[in-house]
Amino acid sequence: MSENKLTNILLAILSHLRSNLYIWILFYVPVVLQVTMIALVLIVPSKTFVAAPLVMGVIIAAAMGYFRAVKMEIADGYFRTCFPLFLPLFVAALLIDLNWIAAIAVVDNDTYFGFINFLLFITNLHFILSAVYISFSMGVPYYLVYLLAVYGAFAIAFAIGALRKKRRIASGRSLFFSVFIFVLLMALAVSLYTYRHPKALLNVLTKEAYDLPPVVYDIHSGKAVSLRGESTISIESNWPIIGGAAAFYPIYSSAAEVLFKRPYNLTHNQFAGIYYPRGGSYDGRYAYERLINKDVDMILAFAPSDADIEMARKNNIELQITPIGREAFVILSNEVNPVHSLTVDQIQKIYSDEITNWREVGGENEKILTFRQFADSDSQIIMERVVMKDFPFAKPPSIARMYNNKGYRNADNAIGYSLKFFAETLQKNGVRQLAINGVEPKRENIQNGSYPLVYEFYIVTRKNDVAPNAQKLIDWFLSDQGQALIEDVGYVPITSIK
């Protein structure tokens, strides 16, 4: 093959790549938009970034569409001009329909169509960076809207440019057919949206998910609750090592922060890590085991289980249990839910799947979406041991399992549970704490015991092996100043404060 012939072939290929509309749609537009998105991530502040990809994407795609129509030849034929303009719009609209159908299946029939995500991935390989970033940071619905917006802007700008140059895109019949198919797909999406919104669909997929427990206090970061007045005791040496449930870390870490005098040769974090560690002793399920194994000198925890008592007996250890405060266990729902109160029996039947619809407990005809906590969380321990008792937990719905990294997602038809201390942070976000047997979980009802799900928590030590200064710390927690600290952290003290 002669050199001139080879050059002509290469030039023809380059010309084809430069002008082919499919190449523009599937390569040039995605590349330019994804480079822009990377620049936006690096430059634009995260708080203002949510709308930035959409706005910039529409502007850039429109500019590219107009440039392509005005500066280059437009090929004849439906499949060379009109179809490539509508193809990404068809795909995006179809994916929206499939995602709505999958979401309805999840909520109504507890069936999760994982292949929808597979289709989303396969059909958007050319847009993979944008697809992954937007889907994970803002949600799949936002990404599908993004696709429609940028490719719609490209197509409209291309059509405007073609009209200005008096170039025909397609016959009237072909154009009508394409518009009809697109409108049909979008009409299906709108009808599905109208059918289920907002009770179970978009509601579930877009409502805020909450970590329970959230990070409330962290002494390792220098945050603590202050005492009322000067501390009445000071422990300068022989500091008891304190552990316990994560729920009570704010109490014992705040106390240690103000009562333990830190040696000059230890940094704040070193001292905190030794004398009120947040590692293994931070896990409520294993708090008693660590006390019995003498990993810690004292723990703050709820009452020991039968297994904890048996473990202590086998190790010839008698537990000394001192009540220092009260905490409520609360049931969560969305504030738009007309159900304001449940009985313990109803809660047990909801979480064992004997009751599956809010209508059965006086609410609307909506399937109950149950959320549960991590297996080792303090809330889950109480739910299993004290609330559910002999009732078996049913398998959670698929939509709840999809968000099992979160303790609760505030959908209109959702139900969850938590210690009141953690749930207090969610009150302003439309989360209701349900009354139990008609009694609300207010502080006075917790104090007088009228709210049914109230539990004392304790300082627990080894009775015949009490560490130096441990009893001094226990006595302080029972004093007015110690009880005030418990109240200021957010719990209910065991005694009245003078």
What are the mean pLDDT values of the chain's consecutive 10-residue runs (498 residues total)? 56 55 81 83 63 84 88 72 82 79 63 63 76 73 83 89 78 83 88 57 48 42 68 85 83 83 65 55 71 90 89 94 94 92 94 92 89 76 84 71 58 86 73 93 90 93 89 94 91 86
Three-class DSSP category at 356: coil
Q: Are 321 and 397 in contact (CB under 8 A)?
A: no
End-to-end CA distance of the chain: 102
Query: Rounded distance, CA 332 to CA 372, Å?
Result: 11
How many angstroms separate the CA atoms of 319 and 381, rounded?
A: 20
Q: Would you state the pLDDT for residue 204?
A: 47
Q: What angle do CA 364, 369, 375 make, to 5 degrees?
A: 150
pLDDT reported for residue 197: 46
Are the CB atoms for 351 and 391 separated by under 8 Å? yes
pLDDT number for residue 96: 78
Phi, psi torsion values for 51, nearest 5 degrees = -90, -15
DSSP letter, residue 433: E
Q: Which H or E element spans position 341?
A: strand 341-342
Residue with tokens 């009109």: 82
Q: What is the pLDDT of residue 112?
A: 56
Q: What pLDDT is stored for residue 403 in this prediction?
A: 47
Q: Does domain 229-321+466-493 have CATH number 3.40.190.10?
A: yes
Q: How far apart are CA 16 and CA 33, in angstroms?
A: 22
Going by C-beta distance under 8 Å and a sequence separation of 6 or more, which residues neighbour residue 357?
365, 366, 367, 368
Domain boundaries, the chain: 3-202, 229-321+466-493, 326-455
110: left (phi over 0), alpha (psi -120 to 50) or beta: left
DSSP 19-33: H-HHHIIIIIHHHHH
Handedness of CA 17, 20, 23, 29 (dihedral sign): positive
Query: Under CATH, which number does the domain 326-455 receive?
Result: 3.40.190.10
pLDDT at 340: 95
Q: How far is CA 474 from CA 97, 193, 274, 325, in A?
A: 61, 58, 19, 12
pTM, full prediction: 0.63
Output the CA angle 355-361-363, nearest 5 degrees.
Answer: 115
Q: What is the largest CA-CA distance in the chain?
A: 103
